[in-house]
């Protein structure tokens, strides 16, 4: 059961991706599916900060060509990436504390990519 949907993303192939905030997972629902598939999750829904864990997944984007999923891990102050078919994610930026330095976030909430592939992060 999805407990709190902070953000969702629908790709051009009719798959719905959902950031399930309180269960700390990404669910994807292919067209006409009767149930969702967990694409990434955090140790049975428990919060954590390693690459197999999440703590409040917010923003979500999916690369249409590569099917790579990008998500904002709010409480770990980082942006995570999940490659199609892999179970662990990797940190592409942040995740090194919560201070107002140029290489750190303070509770990021969303992300976007421009047409050149540059990443933009909304940070509180």
Condensed to tens digits (0 to 9), the pLDDT of residues 23-62 reads: 888 888 888 889 888 877 766 777 878 877 888 888 889 8
Q: What digits encode the pLDDT tens for the residues 57-92? A: 888 898 888 889 999 999 999 999 988 777 678 999
Give the domain CATH number at 60: 2.120.10.30
User: Long-range pairs for 60-68 at CB < 8 Å and ≥24 separation?
Assistant: 60/7, 60/8, 60/9, 60/17, 60/18, 60/19, 60/26, 61/9, 61/111, 61/112, 61/113, 62/9, 62/11, 62/17, 64/11, 64/12, 64/13
Q: What is the pLDDT of residue 18?
A: 85
**How many structural domains is the chain composed of?**
1
Torsion of CA 104, 105, 110, 113, to 10 degrees: -20
In terms of residue numbers, what domain contains 28? 5-123
| Beta-carbon-side half-sphere exposure of residue 89 (alpha carbons within 13 Å) | 31
């Amino acid at each position: 059961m999805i407990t709190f949907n902070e953000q969702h993303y629908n790709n051009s192939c009719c798959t719905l991706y959902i950031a399930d905030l309180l269960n700390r997972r990404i669910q994807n629902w292919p067209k006409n599916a009767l149930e969702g598939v967990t694409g990434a999750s955090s140790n049975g829904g428990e919060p954590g900060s390693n690459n197999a864990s999440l703590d409040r997944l917010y923003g979500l984007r999916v690369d249409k060509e590569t099917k790579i999923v990008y998500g904002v891990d709010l409480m770990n102050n980082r942006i995570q990436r999940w490659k199609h078919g892999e179970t662990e994610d990797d940190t592409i930026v942040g995740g090194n504390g919560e201070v107002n330095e140029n290489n750190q976030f303070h509770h990021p909430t969303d992300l976007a990519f421009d047409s050149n592939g540059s990443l933009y992060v909304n940070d509180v």
